[in-house]
Amino acid sequence: MNKVNAVLLLVFALVIITIAELIGIQSITIGSITISLLPLVFAIIITMVLGMKVLRAGPLKRIYSKQNVDFSSKYLIFIMLPLMARYGADVAPQMGEILQVGWVFIFQELGNLGTVLIGLPIALLIGLRREAIGATLGIGREGELAYISEKYTLESDEGRGVLSLYIIGTIFGALFFSIIAPVLLDLGFRPEALAMASGVGSSSMMTGASSTLVARLPEMESTITSYAAASQLLTSFLGTFTMIFLAAPLQQFMYKFLVRSDRT
């Protein structure tokens, strides 16, 4: 690894963190809905904008060197590990309370079918066909990617659907969830329910959703992070089974039904 570039990357990260933290939490209120933008949102927006190919000149070219970008994507998961450890510590003191409503946690896992129930009709309506299978099976993370590539290969229409969703989710997932979670809060959902729902199966999306809820309701921090983390952990246990035994058959059924009725 080029040492100068690596040092530049580190300095750059410190600068971005400083800028993002000094901007702090900004709230935008539209009617009765408040959107909170956290430092993490500024951090990802600034790093993405500065990384656009047209801007990559001088020091930015060295910061966004292939090695540095590869390092970030290869080790991102390891940079995230302390956060995962933190979630464990959040769940521990709330364990009794969580087990008490354990059945709610298990039932809300069925919410993962929402990708098919809501996503598939919309996809077919705007004219997608086989791509829709890949794009709506789940939130397009590693699990869906593996399933679709095994069943249809990634070069198929289904494969292109899931790959596109994977890319969109990687780039905008955390951002999207950090905006949508407080909107639902303003629409009257209970914070506990939204925290539970945050465990969608992607750690960055879960973090986006739960962090903005924490920022809005700091006094409920321990409940929010523990519910989100417990549900996320449950999704990583049950997610594959939900996908294979429920989402995939449901999707096949709905697809045949909707595409047929479309022709008549």
Partner 1 sequence: MKAGLNQYVKYALVLLLSIALILFTQEIKLVKNPESTPVTWLTIAGLFSLYLFSMMGIGISQMMKKIDISFLRNFPILGWVSITSLVMCLIFDFFVTAIQAVDFLSITTPILTFAGISVVDRLADLRKSSWKIGLVAVFVFIGTYVVSALIAQFGLTLAG
Q: Rule CB under 8 A: which of 188-217 touch partner 1?
A: 189-190, 192-194, 196-198, 200, 203-205, 207, 209, 211, 214-215
Binding to partner 1 (CB under 8 A) within 228-247 occurs at 229, 231-233, 236-237, 240
Closest separation between CB of residue 106 and partner 1, Å? 9
3 binds partner 1 (CB under 8 A): no
Give residues 66-95 in contact with partner 1 (rule: CB under 8 A): 66, 68-69, 72-73, 75-93, 95
**CA 139 – CA 108 distance, rounded (Å):** 16
**Nearest-10 Cα torsion for 10, 14, 16, 17:** 130
Figure out which of the listed residues 45, 99, 244, 259 binds partner 1, where binding follows CB under 8 A.
45
In the list 34, 154, 221, 238, the residue contacting partner 1 (rule: CB under 8 A) is 221
Give the residue from 174, 210, 176, 170 showing the smallest Cα distance to 193.
210
φ and ψ at 10, to 5 degrees? -65, -50
147, 137 in Cβ contact below 8 A?
Answer: yes
Q: Which is nearer to partner 1, 28 or 95 (CB)?
A: 95
Binding mask 152-191 for partner 1 (x = CB under 8 A): --------xx-xxx-xxxxxxxx-xx--xx--x----xx-
Residues in region 106-145 near partner 1 by CB under 8 A: 107-119, 122-123, 126-128, 131-132, 135-136, 138-140, 142
Q: What share of the chain is helix, strand, coil (3-state, %, to 5)?
A: 80, 5, 15
| Burial zone of 117 (CB within 10 Å; 0-12 exposed, 13-18 middle, 19+ buried) | middle
The tally of CA atoms less than 13 A away on the side-chain side of residue 259 is: 15
Query: Is residue 99 involved in binding partner 1 (CB under 8 A)?
Result: no
